[in-house]
Amino acid sequence: MAASPARRIAFEILRRVASEEAYASDLLHAKLAGRVGRADAALATELTLGVLRWQRLLDFLLQRHLDKPAARLDLEVLLALRMGLYQMRFLERIPAHAAVSESVELAKSARKRSAAPLVNAVLRRLAPEAKLAGANLEALLPAGASAVERTAILYSHPNWLVERWLARFGDYRTVALLEANNRPPRLCCAVLDPRETPAVNESLRREGFEVAPGRWLRAALALSGGNPAAAEAFRLGKISLQDEASQMVAHLVDARAGDVVLDVCAAPGGKTGILARAVAPGGRVIAADVHEHRLRAAREQLVRTGAQGVWWLALDAVQPLPFAETFQRILVDAPCSGTGTLARNPEIKWRLQPDELTRAHCRQTAMLSQALAKLATGGRLVYATCSLEPEENEQTVREAISQYAGVRIVPDQAALDPWLRPGASAAPLFDPDGFFRTFPPESGTDGFFAAVLERSA
């Protein structure tokens, strides 16, 4: 018997994530865009992202029944074991015997037939303890493990991330963040013409989606129950899939009709689309990125949504920007570690290393400095990341603005007011230093940082 289609899809995506450093969300989008049934698409997504979220705990439990380190197993064998254990531990509707037999078939189909008895034996031994929780699970942890390591194993994160978050956020907020990272994130879309929100809502419901209002924005909808990229509203360019915090970053630019906006790191184009609509009619957005293939993909998205007035340009933003003029509005949505998006991109936490934050800080500071050189007097620049780390956020901002007289941080909550739902307030999203921050377990969004900078001289 062959493994089910959903499991084969998840297995192949996990293999590519591990061996090619691909991103699971991109692979799932590409694979599930074809003729894959809704049930198979849902299970493939659950298995792929669930295994990545809980990888460390799964490996810890597996290791207790292995004769050699899990990391020394053939990748395909390790993935079959992780998938089997994940199903037994987290998926109530899949019997243990089905999880075991399907994983054995995955190993066989990956030409690891000789390892099939190992997969079968390990998973069968694990079945009685697969669902252990609370004190029973903690009793399995190494006796000499530190508090950081115990927390990191139980919540399936690297030690170094847990340690730095405990130091900055404290015990309660860190555990809340770890729990949020291990839950499927809320899937949101932006209704590109806010006046059409009721009609788009109704269209999505007719197609079987569960639709709820956004938590913060009046033109945001939260979706579940299917693949939004297959919805009529998406095909017709009426919605764009975008987290609410990401949408708010674009609104902070406060672009107006007729403005010329420089979008320094434009791909994948979600914020560019919001800016293009804000400056119409008569304005334009110069959308730049270092990677031409990412610009092409962003351009395709904006063609789908009918955005006009966007000029595309490939450039390296750490170098002096090739413009003679200055700009009244600039967005620097800097490439970053992505630690605010671990629920959406769980593979990041297994790839990211501490020294990468220092390297990212250097590039981000250079980008922001080059962009500030092109900010006009009286102009506004928004620097943003989807990171929770100070090296990429406030440290970058303070270092860059120290080079320019007259640049100050502006906590402009009013820029968001026209876009908020009735009764919503942006005040909780700005800290005492004037920085915009979202924290996943508290804001119900990805973790974003933004600094609104204005130049008076």
Paired residues of 213 in beta bridges: 221
Distance CA 296, CA 390 (A): 32
- Which residue is catalytic, options 188, 189, 336, 386? 386
How confident is the model over 199-247, as pLDDT tens digits? 999 999 999 999 999 999 999 999 988 888 888 999 999 999 999 999 9
- The b-or-e profile of 358-387 (16+ CB within 10 A means b, else e) is eebbebbbbbbbbbbebbeeebbbbbbbbb
Beta carbons within 8 Å of 206's beta carbon, 6+ residues apart: none
Amino acid of residue 421: R
Listed residue (285, 309, 302) closest to 240, CA to CA: 302
- The pLDDT confidence band at residue 251, using thresholds 50, 70 and 90, is very high
Q: Is 265 a catalytic residue?
A: no
Token readout for 24 is 């699971």
Say how many Å lie between the first and final Cα of the chain, rounded.
Answer: 72
Question: What's the pLDDT score for residue 457?
Answer: 67
Number of alpha carbons in the 13 Å side-chain half-sphere of residue 369: 16
| Per-residue pLDDT at 230 | 84
**Per-position b or e across 435-450, b if 16+ CB within 10 A of its CB:** bbbbbbbebbbbbbbb
Retrieve residue 154's tokens. Answer: 């139980």
The number of residues in the chain equals 457
The angle subtended at Cα 104 by Cα 101 and Cα 109, nearest 5°, is 125
pLDDT, residue 301, reads: 87
**pLDDT for residue 445 is more than 90:** yes
Helix locations, 218-352, DSSP H: 232-235, 244-252, 270-279, 292-305, 348-351
pLDDT, the chain, mean: 94
Q: Is the dihedral of CA 18, 178, 50, 190 positive or negative?
A: negative
Using the predicted structure, report yes or no on whether residue 30 has a pLDDT greater than 90: no
Distance CA 7, CA 50 (A): 13
The answer to whether the CB of 380 falls within 8 A of the CB of 415 is no
C-alpha 274 chain-centroid distance: 19
Mean local confidence (pLDDT), 126-151: 93
Give the model confidence (pLDDT) of 102-118 as tens digits. Answer: 999 999 999 989 999 99
Residue 428 per-residue DSSP state? G
Beta partners for 112? none
Average pLDDT value for residue range 449-457: 93
Which amino acid is present at 189?
A: C
The Cα–Cα gap between 88 and 104 comes to: 14
Please give the full DSSP string across 195-256, using - where no structure is assigned. GGHHHHHHHHHHTT-EEEE-SSBTTEEEEESS-GGGSHHHHTTSEEE--HHHHHHHHHT---
The count of C-alpha atoms lying within 13 angstroms of the C-alpha of 394, restricted to the half-sphere facing its C-beta, is 11
Answer whether the bond into residue 428 is a cis peptide, omega within 30°. no
pLDDT for 100 equals 95
* Nearest C-alpha neighbor of 393 from the set 437, 354, 429, 432: 437
Domains along the sequence of the chain with CATH: 5-140 (1.10.940.10), 187-241 (3.30.70.1170), 244-455 (3.40.50.150)
pLDDT for 1 equals 65
The token duo for 282 is 């008569």
Give the range among 234-248, 286-300, 408-422, 433-447 with minimum mean pLDDT: 286-300
Percent of the chain surpassing pLDDT 90: 87
pLDDT at 67 over 80: yes
Is the pLDDT at 432 greater than 90, yes or no?
Answer: yes
The whole-angstrom distance between residue 39's C-alpha and the CA centroid of its chain comes to 23
H helical segments located in 64-146: 75-90, 96-109, 116-126, 134-138
